[in-house]
Amino acid sequence: MISHKFPDLTIVVPTFNERDNVRPLVDLLETALAGIAWDVVFVDDDSPDGTAKEVRALGREKSFVRVIHRIGRRGLSGACIEGILSSIAPIVAVMDGDLQHDETKLVEMLAALKADPELDLVIASRNVSGGSSGTGLSSMRKWGSDVATSMARKMLKITATDPMSGFFMVRRESFNSVVLNLQQQGFKILADMLSASAGRWKTHEVAFTFRERQHGESKMDSAVTFEFLSLLAVRMTGGVVSIRFILFMLVGLSGLAVNLIVLRFVLGFLPDQFALSQTVAVVTAMTTNFILNNALTYKDRSLHGAAFLRGLLSFYGVCSVGAVANIGVATAIFAVVPNWALAGFVGAFIGALWNFVASSLVTWKS
Ligand code: GDD
Ligand code: MN
């Protein structure tokens, strides 16, 4: 029988290489949500394992299953945002596609939102009594998650016990009021939402136990940590800069260190060849900057193979212009205000700004 009932609840499931989890998850949802009008949207970033194809196949069997198949893009937060925006339901949940989130909690979460019209958000928390990270996280990750949680709580003034959770349910109207403020890049959309809502939201928490992953593997990597730290910086600066900008500047600072270390090293061999030594140092620093930006800042569009080499060459070109701008600006300032530190800093900043804008348009154009 075909049902044309509109959904009261949309489940948004971001996926990357979760093909074998798709059917088991929908089966579990059907059992858990019996009697509720719901639908599910998988937001898949063109997973090489064919997750999107699997969801389309399932969608032909079950009309309440659909997929947003994104091409040339990567990122958990951005995927969640698009999934939520695609829903027509008044209430939307986000949960992982790997069966680590306890779908039986959805009923309780929905009931809380229906019972209290003032309530904006329900978080499934591992850190309230009755909840836990179970065996779903290694002790190292558990520690990292705890540190991140206390940082987010202190620096972003969040009161929720588990702002790192990827499992929550939000009223669509409330989500709409913060969406323009959210960062697309990164892994921690809940922390970002809580910060964007600036304490105005009424939230409620339900306990859940994080399950162990059955199929596939976690996409959490060291880049996620840097993205999270950048998210904190973005929020502390009132959201005027992006995560990408902060990452680019951090990589730039690392390049400064590389430059000085290599300069010192080469001078050890060629003590009377300063210009040559500095040239080697600068090219090395541009190269490490390119590699780090490609892996971190532009993880979502990182270049491989021939494109990697083309990108490297274009990055050298961009940075060379940046260096000329740096020297020009610094010299001009120094002529007016003879303060070497000020002139040097402004020059370097303008050069870095140019590098950021130009490389995003040329080297990592989307
Ligand atoms: N579309 C899309 N794009 N989905 C992604 C991407 C991406 O770039 N990266 C990860 N996902 C999907 C995964 O396929 C999975 O369904 C879900 O997002 C969570 O990713 P995992 O790789 O399983 O993350 P985790 O288990 O290490 O981390 C989970 O627990 C953390 C709490 O410690 C997530 O729920 C985190 O959000 C949460 O903070
Ligand atoms: Mn997981």
Q: Which fold has domain 9-216?
A: Spore Coat Polysaccharide Biosynthesis Protein SpsA; Chain A (3.90.550)
Q: Which amino acid is at 97?
A: G
Closest listed ligand to the CA of 166: 1
Residue 237: CB atoms within 10 A of its CB come to: 11
State in Å, rounded, how far the first CA of the chain is from the last one: 43
Q: What is the pLDDT of residue 1?
A: 46
Residue 308's alpha-carbon distances to 304, 345, 364, in angstroms, are 5, 31, 10
Question: What six digits make up the tokens of 182?
Answer: 């959210």
Q: Is 172 in the pocket of ligand 1 (CB under 6 A)?
A: no
Choose the residue to mutate in 96, 185, 227, 298 for probing ligand 1, maximizing ligand atoms within 8 Å of C-beta: 96
Which ligand 1 atom is the nearest neighbour of the CA of 70? 1
Which ligand 1 atom is the nearest neighbour of the CA of 44? 1
Q: Is 102 in the pocket of ligand 1 (CB under 6 A)?
A: no
Q: What is the pLDDT of residue 4?
A: 62
Cα dihedral sign, 11-184-159-212 = positive
Burial of 147 (0-12, 13-18, 19+ CB in 10 A): exposed
Going by C-alpha positions, the residue among 157, 196, 191 that lies closest to residue 178 is: 196
Q: Is 15 in the pocket of ligand 1 (CB under 6 A)?
A: yes
Please list the pLDDT of the chain residue by residue as tens digits (366 residues).
455 678 999 999 999 999 999 999 999 999 999 999 999 999 999 999 999 999 999 999 999 999 999 998 899 999 999 999 999 999 999 999 999 999 999 999 999 999 999 999 999 999 998 988 888 888 888 899 999 999 999 999 999 999 999 999 999 999 999 999 999 999 999 999 999 998 899 999 999 999 999 889 999 888 999 999 999 999 999 888 999 999 999 999 999 999 999 999 999 999 999 999 999 999 999 999 999 999 999 999 999 999 999 999 999 999 999 999 999 999 999 999 999 999 999 999 999 999 999 999 999 997
Give me the sheet containing 9-15, strands edge to edge: 65-69, 38-44, 9-15, 91-94, 168-171, 121-125, 203-207
Domain spans of the chain, in order of start: 9-216, 243-361
Rounded to the nearest 10 degrees, how much is the dihedral formed by the CA atoms of 331, 335, 336, 341?
50
Which ligand 1 atom is the nearest neighbour of the CA of 17? 14
Find out whether 182 and 159 touch, Cβ atoms under 8 Å: no
Q: Is 78 in the pocket of ligand 1 (CB under 6 A)?
A: no
Using the structure block, give the residue that is written with the tokens 């809580």.
194
Find out whether 37 and 6 touch, Cβ atoms under 8 Å: yes
46 SS3 class: coil
